[in-house]
């Protein structure tokens, strides 16, 4: 394996594009080093990007925030303004692994590993987050929801990598929340998960809602019907029942060592309900 720290984004994409063997990008390393250890992948080229400009920045932009690809989960959690605006996104990022892993893991790495159980992705999806890609043909912006295409696979072209994630501005009376189910209290991969992002009017009625679920389909899934089920409501019992029904209907999980189809489906609905209540309360709604 060759280890390279390119001097620019352009040099990085040129290196990646030119590599005939297996290339991997290193920022936090908390997934790729595990794969190395398990001999699941033996890269020919490891490209370290975390020293490049902007990679470690959390910058205010158009009322929202641009997060560099090498910003760790811990750094996200320490950013008070970001956490106030997108608490659900940050709590997803802060659930990835242990304290030690938090200090290295990045939401971009979490996204690019393309696991359906990735903890930070449902929150980014409900936030309408947009990834900025750099590649041999320049830069392009792609909604986060479109990045993973199947377990372990992204839509990134050869030579392309993500340089930052953009979280848009929020109106007053908006918030989000993320919950996952794990057997222990820490250190597990999500068996199911749900993120909910809401906007409320002054009276506490939901005017916009996005719901995303994880670990219940080949990729993190945005559930439009679930969002629609609670728009125009104050999360009354009927709305919650509709939310749960729409969420469960969107699940197509597998049974494996971590959970069954039935369990994943049932808990995804429960988590969507609970996350909706948390997001509603954070947004200033009173139930």
Partner 1 sequence: MALDDQAKRTFKVVGTRVGRPDGIDKVTGKAAYGADITAPGMLHGRILRSPHAHARIKSIDVSEAAKLAGVKAVVTGADLAIPDDEGFADIAINCLARDKVFYDGHAVAAVAATSKSIAKQAIRLIKVDYEILPHVTDVDAAMKPDAPAVQEGRALENVPAGMSQNVTTRCAFGHGDVDAGFAKADKIIERSFKTAATHQGYIEPQACLATLGSDGRGEVWCCTQGQYMVRANCAAVLGIEESQLRVISSEIGGGFGGKTSTFIEPVALALSRKSGKPVKMVMTRDEVLRATGPTISASMDIKIGMTNDGRITAARGELRYSGGAYPNETIEMGAQAAFAAYDLEAVETVGWNVMTNRPKEIPYRAPGAPTSIYAVESVVDELCQELGLDPLDVRLLNAARKGTLSAYGPTFNEIGLVATLEAAKAHPHYTAPLGPNQGRGLSCGFWFNFGGNTCVSLNINDDGTVGVVEGNPDIGGSRASISMMAAEELGVPYEKVRTVIADTSALGFNDITDGSRVTFAVGLATIEAARAAIREMCRRAAKIWGIDEDAVLWEDGAAVPAGPNAGTHPPMTLAEIAAVAGNTGGPIAGHHEVNADGAGVSFGVHLVDTEVDPETGATKILRYTVFQDAGKAVHPDYVEGQMQGGAVQGIGWALNEEYIYGEDGRLQNAGFLDYRIPVASDLPEIETVILEIPNPGHPYGVRGVGETPIVPPLAAISNAVSRAAGVRMCELPMSPPRLLKAMTG
Partner 2 sequence: MKMIPVETTINGDQTEFLCNADESLLDVLRDRLGLTGAKEGCGTGDCGACSVMLNGRVVCSCLVLGVETQGAEVETIEGMADGETLHPLQRVFIEEAALQCGICTPGILIAAKSLLAKNPDPTDTEVRYWLAGNLCRCTGYDKIIKAVQKAAAEMRAA
Binding site for partner 2 (CB under 8 A): 1-3, 26, 29-30, 33-34, 36-38, 46, 48, 72, 74, 97-101, 103-104, 185-187
For position 186 contacting partner 1 by CB under 8 A, the verdict is yes
Residue 161 or 181 with smaller CB distance to partner 1? 181
Contact with partner 1 (CB under 8 A): which of 108, 191, 206, 209? 191
Q: Nearest Cα to 180, choosing from 109, 261, 118, 248? A: 118
C-alpha to C-alpha distance for 147 and 142, rounded to whole angstroms: 7
Q: Using CB distances below 5 to 8 A depending on partner kind, what does residue 29 bind out of partner 2, partner 1, none?
A: partner 2
Residue 2 or 51 with smaller CB distance to partner 1? 2
Q: In the window 153-172, what residues touch partner 1 (CB under 8 A)? A: none
Q: Using CB distances below 5 to 8 A depending on partner kind, what does residue 171 bind out of partner 1, partner 2, none?
A: none
Contact with partner 1 (CB under 8 A): which of 15, 58, 231, 270? 270
Residue 53 or 63 with smaller CB distance to partner 2? 53
Residue 107 or 191 with smaller CB distance to partner 1? 191
Contact with partner 1 (CB under 8 A): which of 194, 267, 276, 280? 267
For position 36 contacting partner 1 by CB under 8 A, the verdict is no
C-alpha to C-alpha distance for 230 and 241, rounded to whole angstroms: 9
Residue 38 or 202 with smaller CB distance to partner 1? 38
Residue 114 or 182 with smaller CB distance to partner 2? 182
Q: Nearest approach, Cβ of 104 to partner 2 (angstroms)? A: 6
Q: Using CB distances below 5 to 8 A depending on partner kind, what does residue 11 bind out of partner 1, partner 2, none?
A: none
Beta carbons of 102 and 72 less than 8 angstroms apart = yes
Q: Nearest approach, Cβ of 30 to partner 2 (angstroms)? A: 5
If one counts every other C-beta atom within 10 angstroms of the C-beta of residue 210, the result is 24
Q: In the window 37-96, what residues touch partner 1 (CB under 8 A)? A: 37-39
Residue 29 or 285 with smaller CB distance to partner 2? 29
Task: Name the site residues for partner 1 (rule: CB under 8 A).
Answer: 37-39, 181, 183-189, 191, 256-260, 262-263, 266-267, 270
């Amino acid at each position: 394996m060759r280890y390279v720290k390119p001097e620019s984004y352009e040099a990085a994409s040129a290196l990646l594009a030119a590599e005939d063997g297996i290339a991997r990008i290193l920022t936090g390393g908390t997934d790729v080093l595990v794969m190395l250890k398990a001999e699941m992948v033996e890269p020919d080229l490891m490209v370290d990007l975390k020293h490049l400009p902007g990679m470690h920045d959390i910058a205010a932009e158009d009322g929202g925030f641009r997060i560099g690809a090498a910003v760790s989960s811990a750094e996200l959690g320490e950013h008070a303004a970001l956490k106030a605006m997108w608490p659900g996104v940050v709590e997803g990022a802060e659930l990835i692994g242990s304290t030690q892993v938090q200090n290295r893991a990045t939401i971009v790495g979490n996204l690019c590993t393309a696991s359906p159980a990735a903890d930070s992705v449902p929150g980014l999806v409900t936030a309408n987050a947009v990834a900025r890609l750099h590649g041999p043909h320049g830069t392009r912006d792609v909604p986060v929801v479109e990045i993973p295409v199947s377990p372990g696979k992204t839509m990134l072209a050869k030579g392309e990598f993500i340089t930052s994630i953009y979280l848009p501005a929020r109106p007053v009376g908006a918030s989000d929340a993320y919950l996952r189910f794990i057997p222990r209290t820490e250190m597990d991969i999500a068996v199911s998960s749900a993120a909910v992002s809401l906007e409320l009017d002054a009276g506490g009625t939901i005017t916009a809602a996005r719901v995303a679920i994880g670990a219940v389909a080949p990729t993190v899934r945005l559930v439009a019907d679930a969002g629609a089920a609670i728009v125009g409501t104050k999360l009354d019992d009927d709305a919650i029942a509709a939310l749960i029904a729409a969420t469960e209907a969107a699940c197509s999980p597998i049974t494996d060592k971590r959970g069954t189809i039935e369990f994943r489906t049932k808990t995804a609905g429960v988590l969507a309900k609970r996350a909706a209540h948390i997001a509603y309360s954070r947004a200033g709604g009173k139930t």
